[in-house]
Amino acid sequence: MTLTEDTVFSALRRTWQPVANAPALPPGAVINYTLLETELVIARFANGQLLAADVACPHKGARLSAGCIHDRVLMCPYHGWTFAVDGACAAIPSLVEPSPEKLALSHLRTYRVQERYGFVWVKLEDAPLANGAKHELPDVPEFEDARWTYRLGPPMAFAAGWRREVENYLDMTHFAFAHRRTLGLCADPRIRGMEITTHADGGYQMDAPFPALETAHEMPGKLQSAHHRRQRSWLPNFTTIRQSFADGDERVLVHIPSPNTRESCTCFWSLAISPGFCGPPPEAQIEFAVKVLDEDRRMCELQVPREVPINPARGAWGVLVTPGDTLANTFQKQLRRWLLAGAGE
Ligand code: FES
Ligand SMILES: [Fe+2]
Protein backbone atom coordinates (compact mmCIF):
# COMPACT_ATOMS: atom_id res chain seq x y z
CA MET A 1 0.00 0.00 0.00
CA THR A 2 1.17 3.52 -0.74
CA LEU A 3 1.24 5.74 2.28
CA THR A 4 1.02 9.51 2.02
CA GLU A 5 2.27 12.39 4.12
CA ASP A 6 -1.37 13.02 5.08
CA THR A 7 -1.42 9.60 6.73
CA VAL A 8 1.70 10.48 8.68
CA PHE A 9 0.46 13.84 9.96
CA SER A 10 -2.95 12.46 10.77
CA ALA A 11 -1.29 9.81 12.98
CA LEU A 12 1.08 12.26 14.61
CA ARG A 13 -1.80 14.53 15.60
CA ARG A 14 -2.72 11.79 18.08
CA THR A 15 0.68 11.78 19.74
CA TRP A 16 2.32 14.02 22.32
CA GLN A 17 4.89 16.34 20.76
CA PRO A 18 7.18 18.85 22.51
CA VAL A 19 6.51 22.51 21.82
CA ALA A 20 8.83 24.26 24.31
CA ASN A 21 11.41 23.77 27.01
CA ALA A 22 9.42 24.41 30.19
CA PRO A 23 11.95 26.92 31.64
CA ALA A 24 11.48 29.01 28.47
CA LEU A 25 7.83 29.39 29.43
CA PRO A 26 7.71 30.96 32.89
CA PRO A 27 4.46 32.41 34.33
CA GLY A 28 3.27 35.24 32.09
CA ALA A 29 5.03 33.92 28.97
CA VAL A 30 3.13 33.67 25.69
CA ILE A 31 4.72 32.03 22.65
CA ASN A 32 3.91 30.87 19.16
CA TYR A 33 4.68 27.36 17.90
CA THR A 34 3.73 25.58 14.70
CA LEU A 35 3.04 21.90 15.33
CA LEU A 36 2.09 19.68 12.40
CA GLU A 37 1.17 22.75 10.34
CA THR A 38 -1.13 24.00 13.08
CA GLU A 39 -0.10 27.39 14.42
CA LEU A 40 -0.55 27.51 18.17
CA VAL A 41 -0.39 29.96 21.02
CA ILE A 42 1.14 28.47 24.16
CA ALA A 43 0.73 30.51 27.35
CA ARG A 44 1.52 30.03 31.00
CA PHE A 45 -0.76 31.75 33.48
CA ALA A 46 0.35 33.30 36.75
CA ASN A 47 -0.66 30.18 38.68
CA GLY A 48 1.52 28.00 36.46
CA GLN A 49 -1.31 26.50 34.37
CA LEU A 50 -0.71 26.09 30.65
CA LEU A 51 -2.94 26.89 27.67
CA ALA A 52 -2.42 25.53 24.14
CA ALA A 53 -4.85 26.82 21.51
CA ASP A 54 -5.18 27.86 17.87
CA VAL A 55 -3.22 31.06 17.53
CA ALA A 56 -5.94 33.05 15.73
CA CYS A 57 -8.24 35.12 17.90
CA PRO A 58 -11.89 34.13 17.24
CA HIS A 59 -12.76 37.81 16.75
CA LYS A 60 -10.62 39.00 13.82
CA GLY A 61 -7.86 36.47 13.72
CA ALA A 62 -5.09 38.44 15.41
CA ARG A 63 -2.29 36.20 16.65
CA LEU A 64 -2.87 35.64 20.33
CA SER A 65 0.84 34.89 20.69
CA ALA A 66 1.30 38.68 20.53
CA GLY A 67 -1.07 39.04 23.48
CA CYS A 68 -0.22 39.04 27.14
CA ILE A 69 -1.29 37.49 30.40
CA HIS A 70 -3.23 39.74 32.78
CA ASP A 71 -3.79 37.92 36.02
CA ARG A 72 -6.09 35.01 35.10
CA VAL A 73 -6.64 35.76 31.42
CA LEU A 74 -4.83 35.96 28.11
CA MET A 75 -5.65 39.24 26.37
CA CYS A 76 -5.71 39.68 22.58
CA PRO A 77 -3.59 42.68 21.57
CA TYR A 78 -6.08 43.96 18.97
CA HIS A 79 -9.42 44.64 20.72
CA GLY A 80 -8.71 43.31 24.18
CA TRP A 81 -10.88 40.23 24.25
CA THR A 82 -9.74 37.98 27.06
CA PHE A 83 -9.61 34.22 27.49
CA ALA A 84 -9.32 31.97 30.50
CA VAL A 85 -6.95 29.00 30.76
CA ASP A 86 -9.68 26.60 29.58
CA GLY A 87 -10.13 28.73 26.42
CA ALA A 88 -13.42 30.30 27.52
CA CYS A 89 -13.89 33.90 26.41
CA ALA A 90 -13.95 35.90 29.64
CA ALA A 91 -14.66 39.37 28.30
CA ILE A 92 -15.45 41.32 25.13
CA PRO A 93 -14.72 44.94 26.12
CA SER A 94 -16.72 46.54 23.27
CA LEU A 95 -20.00 44.89 24.26
CA VAL A 96 -22.33 47.01 26.33
CA GLU A 97 -24.19 43.89 27.46
CA PRO A 98 -22.06 40.77 26.98
CA SER A 99 -24.36 37.80 26.52
CA PRO A 100 -23.36 34.26 27.52
CA GLU A 101 -24.17 33.16 23.95
CA LYS A 102 -21.67 35.57 22.42
CA LEU A 103 -19.00 34.57 24.92
CA ALA A 104 -19.68 30.88 24.23
CA LEU A 105 -19.31 31.43 20.49
CA SER A 106 -15.92 32.97 21.12
CA HIS A 107 -14.37 29.96 22.87
CA LEU A 108 -10.80 29.19 21.78
CA ARG A 109 -10.05 25.88 20.19
CA THR A 110 -7.79 24.33 22.82
CA TYR A 111 -5.56 21.26 22.89
CA ARG A 112 -4.29 18.91 25.55
CA VAL A 113 -1.07 20.12 27.10
CA GLN A 114 1.22 18.66 29.75
CA GLU A 115 4.67 19.15 31.23
CA ARG A 116 7.12 16.29 31.63
CA TYR A 117 10.88 15.75 31.41
CA GLY A 118 11.26 19.54 31.44
CA PHE A 119 9.34 19.94 28.16
CA VAL A 120 5.87 21.27 27.41
CA TRP A 121 3.97 18.74 25.27
CA VAL A 122 0.84 19.16 23.15
CA LYS A 123 -1.47 16.56 21.63
CA LEU A 124 -3.66 17.92 18.82
CA GLU A 125 -6.18 15.05 18.88
CA ASP A 126 -6.99 12.92 21.86
CA ALA A 127 -8.24 9.97 19.78
CA PRO A 128 -6.80 6.48 20.40
CA LEU A 129 -4.20 4.89 18.14
CA ALA A 130 -4.71 1.66 16.21
CA ASN A 131 -4.16 -0.52 19.27
CA GLY A 132 -7.11 1.18 20.95
CA ALA A 133 -4.92 2.98 23.47
CA LYS A 134 -4.22 6.67 23.59
CA HIS A 135 -0.64 7.74 23.03
CA GLU A 136 1.30 8.34 26.23
CA LEU A 137 4.87 9.45 26.76
CA PRO A 138 7.37 6.65 27.33
CA ASP A 139 8.79 6.28 30.84
CA VAL A 140 12.46 7.14 31.15
CA PRO A 141 13.15 6.70 34.88
CA GLU A 142 16.61 8.27 34.70
CA PHE A 143 15.07 11.60 33.64
CA GLU A 144 12.99 11.74 36.81
CA ASP A 145 15.47 10.23 39.27
CA ALA A 146 16.74 12.96 41.60
CA ARG A 147 20.06 11.12 41.99
CA TRP A 148 20.84 11.62 38.31
CA THR A 149 21.83 14.98 36.84
CA TYR A 150 19.37 16.09 34.19
CA ARG A 151 19.85 18.92 31.69
CA LEU A 152 17.82 20.27 28.77
CA GLY A 153 19.51 21.27 25.53
CA PRO A 154 18.44 24.35 23.57
CA PRO A 155 15.88 23.26 20.93
CA MET A 156 17.32 23.37 17.41
CA ALA A 157 15.30 24.14 14.26
CA PHE A 158 16.02 21.94 11.23
CA ALA A 159 15.02 22.92 7.68
CA ALA A 160 14.40 19.21 7.13
CA GLY A 161 11.58 16.79 7.83
CA TRP A 162 11.34 15.07 11.22
CA ARG A 163 12.19 11.63 9.78
CA ARG A 164 15.49 12.99 8.48
CA GLU A 165 16.39 13.85 12.07
CA VAL A 166 15.32 10.45 13.43
CA GLU A 167 17.41 8.68 10.79
CA ASN A 168 20.38 10.88 11.57
CA TYR A 169 20.10 10.07 15.28
CA LEU A 170 20.07 6.37 14.45
CA ASP A 171 22.96 6.60 11.98
CA MET A 172 26.05 4.73 13.12
CA THR A 173 28.43 5.45 10.25
CA HIS A 174 28.55 9.22 9.81
CA PHE A 175 30.82 10.11 12.73
CA ALA A 176 34.12 10.10 10.87
CA PHE A 177 32.68 12.29 8.13
CA ALA A 178 29.87 14.58 9.28
CA HIS A 179 31.48 15.01 12.72
CA ARG A 180 35.08 15.19 11.57
CA ARG A 181 35.55 18.54 13.34
CA THR A 182 33.97 17.61 16.67
CA LEU A 183 34.19 13.86 17.09
CA GLY A 184 37.03 13.13 14.75
CA LEU A 185 37.72 9.76 13.29
CA CYS A 186 36.36 6.49 14.55
CA ALA A 187 39.17 4.25 15.65
CA ASP A 188 37.25 1.61 13.74
CA PRO A 189 34.47 2.88 11.44
CA ARG A 190 33.00 -0.57 10.98
CA ILE A 191 30.01 -1.49 13.05
CA ARG A 192 30.18 -4.95 14.50
CA GLY A 193 27.62 -7.00 16.29
CA MET A 194 24.62 -4.70 15.99
CA GLU A 195 21.64 -6.42 17.56
CA ILE A 196 18.19 -5.06 16.76
CA THR A 197 15.03 -6.16 18.50
CA THR A 198 11.49 -4.95 18.06
CA HIS A 199 8.97 -4.42 20.83
CA ALA A 200 5.27 -5.17 21.09
CA ASP A 201 4.50 -1.44 21.03
CA GLY A 202 6.14 -1.17 17.59
CA GLY A 203 9.26 0.42 19.03
CA TYR A 204 12.70 -1.03 18.43
CA GLN A 205 16.04 -1.21 20.07
CA MET A 206 19.65 -1.61 19.08
CA ASP A 207 22.49 -2.84 21.23
CA ALA A 208 26.02 -2.45 19.93
CA PRO A 209 29.54 -1.85 21.11
CA PHE A 210 30.57 1.66 20.15
CA PRO A 211 34.17 2.25 19.11
CA ALA A 212 36.49 4.78 20.68
CA LEU A 213 36.82 7.99 18.67
CA GLU A 214 40.02 9.85 17.92
CA THR A 215 39.99 13.60 18.04
CA ALA A 216 42.10 16.65 18.62
CA HIS A 217 39.11 18.38 20.17
CA GLU A 218 39.62 19.47 23.75
CA MET A 219 36.31 18.10 24.87
CA PRO A 220 35.03 14.69 25.56
CA GLY A 221 37.79 12.25 26.56
CA LYS A 222 35.47 10.08 28.59
CA LEU A 223 32.61 10.56 26.15
CA GLN A 224 34.76 9.36 23.29
CA SER A 225 35.96 6.23 24.97
CA ALA A 226 34.61 2.89 23.77
CA HIS A 227 31.25 2.09 25.34
CA HIS A 228 28.14 0.03 24.95
CA ARG A 229 25.33 1.85 23.21
CA ARG A 230 21.65 1.07 23.43
CA GLN A 231 19.25 3.01 21.25
CA ARG A 232 15.62 2.59 22.24
CA SER A 233 13.00 4.16 20.02
CA TRP A 234 9.31 4.62 20.72
CA LEU A 235 7.16 5.38 17.71
CA PRO A 236 6.81 7.75 16.19
CA ASN A 237 9.80 9.93 17.17
CA PHE A 238 11.01 9.51 20.76
CA THR A 239 14.52 8.00 20.77
CA THR A 240 16.93 7.54 23.64
CA ILE A 241 20.58 6.60 23.52
CA ARG A 242 22.04 4.97 26.62
CA GLN A 243 25.82 4.92 26.82
CA SER A 244 27.31 2.51 29.34
CA PHE A 245 31.00 3.07 30.05
CA ALA A 246 33.53 0.55 31.32
CA ASP A 247 33.76 2.27 34.73
CA GLY A 248 30.02 1.85 35.31
CA ASP A 249 29.05 5.46 34.47
CA GLU A 250 26.01 5.93 32.25
CA ARG A 251 24.52 8.69 30.16
CA VAL A 252 21.06 8.76 28.63
CA LEU A 253 20.13 11.21 25.88
CA VAL A 254 16.82 11.79 24.15
CA HIS A 255 15.96 13.42 20.84
CA ILE A 256 12.41 14.28 19.83
CA PRO A 257 12.14 16.05 16.45
CA SER A 258 8.81 17.84 16.78
CA PRO A 259 7.33 18.30 13.27
CA ASN A 260 6.61 21.93 12.41
CA THR A 261 5.76 21.45 8.74
CA ARG A 262 6.29 18.60 6.33
CA GLU A 263 9.76 19.89 5.63
CA SER A 264 10.86 21.32 8.96
CA CYS A 265 11.11 20.25 12.55
CA THR A 266 12.48 21.40 15.89
CA CYS A 267 14.71 18.98 17.74
CA PHE A 268 14.04 18.94 21.50
CA TRP A 269 16.70 17.10 23.46
CA SER A 270 18.14 16.53 26.89
CA LEU A 271 20.59 14.33 28.74
CA ALA A 272 20.85 12.58 32.08
CA ILE A 273 24.13 11.60 33.74
CA SER A 274 24.44 8.87 36.32
CA PRO A 275 25.35 9.75 39.95
CA GLY A 276 29.05 10.55 40.37
CA PHE A 277 29.65 10.60 36.60
CA CYS A 278 33.37 10.98 36.08
CA GLY A 279 33.69 13.20 33.01
CA PRO A 280 33.04 16.71 31.73
CA PRO A 281 30.49 18.74 33.75
CA PRO A 282 26.93 18.64 32.36
CA GLU A 283 26.96 22.23 31.10
CA ALA A 284 30.10 21.49 29.09
CA GLN A 285 28.47 18.33 27.72
CA ILE A 286 25.47 20.36 26.54
CA GLU A 287 27.72 22.97 24.95
CA PHE A 288 29.63 20.31 23.09
CA ALA A 289 26.47 18.44 22.07
CA VAL A 290 25.13 21.66 20.50
CA LYS A 291 28.16 21.72 18.17
CA VAL A 292 27.64 18.06 17.27
CA LEU A 293 23.90 18.58 16.71
CA ASP A 294 24.60 21.56 14.49
CA GLU A 295 26.74 19.33 12.28
CA ASP A 296 23.86 16.87 12.13
CA ARG A 297 21.47 19.68 11.25
CA ARG A 298 23.67 20.66 8.32
CA MET A 299 23.71 17.08 7.04
CA CYS A 300 19.92 16.78 7.34
CA GLU A 301 19.47 20.06 5.48
CA LEU A 302 21.76 18.81 2.68
CA GLN A 303 19.50 15.89 1.92
CA VAL A 304 17.12 15.84 -1.03
CA PRO A 305 14.17 15.75 -0.71
CA ARG A 306 13.78 17.50 2.64
CA GLU A 307 11.82 14.60 4.11
CA VAL A 308 12.59 10.89 3.77
CA PRO A 309 10.01 9.43 1.35
CA ILE A 310 7.52 7.42 3.36
CA ASN A 311 7.59 4.67 0.74
CA PRO A 312 10.83 2.81 -0.11
CA ALA A 313 12.78 4.42 -2.95
CA ARG A 314 16.32 4.76 -4.29
CA GLY A 315 18.23 7.31 -2.20
CA ALA A 316 15.68 7.01 0.57
CA TRP A 317 15.44 3.72 2.39
CA GLY A 318 14.93 0.03 1.74
CA VAL A 319 16.67 -0.16 -1.63
CA LEU A 320 20.38 0.53 -1.22
CA VAL A 321 21.28 -0.81 2.19
CA THR A 322 24.56 -1.01 4.03
CA PRO A 323 24.78 -2.70 7.44
CA GLY A 324 25.16 0.74 9.03
CA ASP A 325 21.74 1.71 7.69
CA THR A 326 19.94 -1.23 9.26
CA LEU A 327 18.71 0.72 12.24
CA ALA A 328 17.32 3.58 10.14
CA ASN A 329 15.63 0.99 7.95
CA THR A 330 14.12 -0.61 11.01
CA PHE A 331 12.69 2.79 11.94
CA GLN A 332 11.11 3.24 8.50
CA LYS A 333 9.71 -0.29 8.49
CA GLN A 334 8.27 -0.06 11.98
CA LEU A 335 6.82 3.38 11.30
CA ARG A 336 5.21 2.05 8.14
CA ARG A 337 3.70 -0.87 10.06
CA TRP A 338 2.44 1.49 12.73
CA LEU A 339 0.80 3.71 10.12
CA LEU A 340 -0.68 0.78 8.19
CA ALA A 341 -2.07 -0.65 11.42
CA GLY A 342 -4.36 2.33 11.42
CA ALA A 343 -2.55 4.86 13.54
CA GLY A 344 -3.26 7.35 10.82
CA GLU A 345 -6.91 6.56 10.17
S1 FES B 1 -8.82 40.19 16.91
FE2 FES B 1 -8.64 39.58 18.94
S3 FES B 1 -9.92 40.90 20.04
FE4 FES B 1 -10.19 41.46 17.97
FE1 LIG C 1 25.44 12.84 14.29
Domain spans, the chain: 27-95+107-123, 141-343
Please indicate whether residue 59, judged by its CB atom, sits closer than 6 Å to ligand 1. Answer: yes
Ligand 1 test: best mutation among 74, 79, 92, most atoms within 8 Å of CB?
79
**Pair type for strands 227-234 and 213-214:** unpaired
Q: Which atom of ligand 1 is nearest to the CA of 61?
A: 1
Name the class of domain 141-343.
Answer: alpha beta
> What is the mean pLDDT for each group of 10 consecutive residues in the chain (345 residues)?
90 97 98 98 97 98 98 96 98 89 93 98 93 92 98 98 97 86 70 83 89 64 85 97 96 98 98 95 94 97 95 78 85 93 66
Among the bound ligands, the one closest to the CA of 75: 1
Greatest Cα pair distance in the chain: 76
Please indicate whether residue 81, judged by its CB atom, sits closer than 6 Å to ligand 1. Answer: yes
Ligand 1 test: best mutation among 30, 81, 107, most atoms within 8 Å of CB?
81
Whether residue 174 contacts residue 265, with contact meaning beta carbons closer than 8 Å, is answered with no
* Spacing, Cα 29 to ligand 1 middle (Å): 19
Among the bound ligands, the one closest to the CA of 169: 2
* Spacing, Cα 293 to ligand 2 middle (Å): 6
Cα–Cα dist 223/37, whole Å: 37
pTM: 0.95
pLDDT score for 249:
97
Smallest CA separation from ligand 1 atom 3, residue: 79
Q: Give every CB contact of residue 18 below 8 A, 6+ residues apart in sequence.
A: 119, 120, 121, 155, 256, 258, 266, 268
Q: Which atom of ligand 1 is nearest to the CA of 92?
A: 3
pLDDT score for 187:
56
Please indicate whether residue 78, judged by its CB atom, sits closer than 6 Å to ligand 1. Answer: yes
pLDDT score for 189:
64
Whether residue 109 contacts residue 87, with contact meaning beta carbons closer than 8 Å, is answered with yes
Please indicate whether residue 60, judged by its CB atom, sits closer than 6 Å to ligand 1. Answer: yes
Q: Which atom of ligand 1 is nearest to the CA of 81?
A: 3
pLDDT score for 215:
63
- 5 phi and psi angles, rounded to 5 deg: -65, -25
pLDDT score for 221:
74
Smallest CA separation from ligand 1 atom 1, residue: 60
Ligand 1 test: best mutation among 55, 59, 68, 106, most atoms within 8 Å of CB?
59
Among the bound ligands, the one closest to the CA of 167: 2
CATH of 27-95+107-123, one of 3.30.1360.170, 2.102.10.10, 3.40.50.2000, 3.40.50.720: 2.102.10.10
Please indicate whether residue 63, judged by its CB atom, sits closer than 6 Å to ligand 1. Answer: no
Q: Which atom of ligand 1 is nearest to the CA of 79?
A: 3
Ligand 1 test: best mutation among 30, 54, 57, 92, most atoms within 8 Å of CB?
57
* Spacing, Cα 75 to ligand 2 middle (Å): 43
pLDDT score for 42:
98
Cα–Cα dist 112/186, whole Å: 44
Please indicate whether residue 62, judged by its CB atom, sits closer than 6 Å to ligand 1. Answer: yes
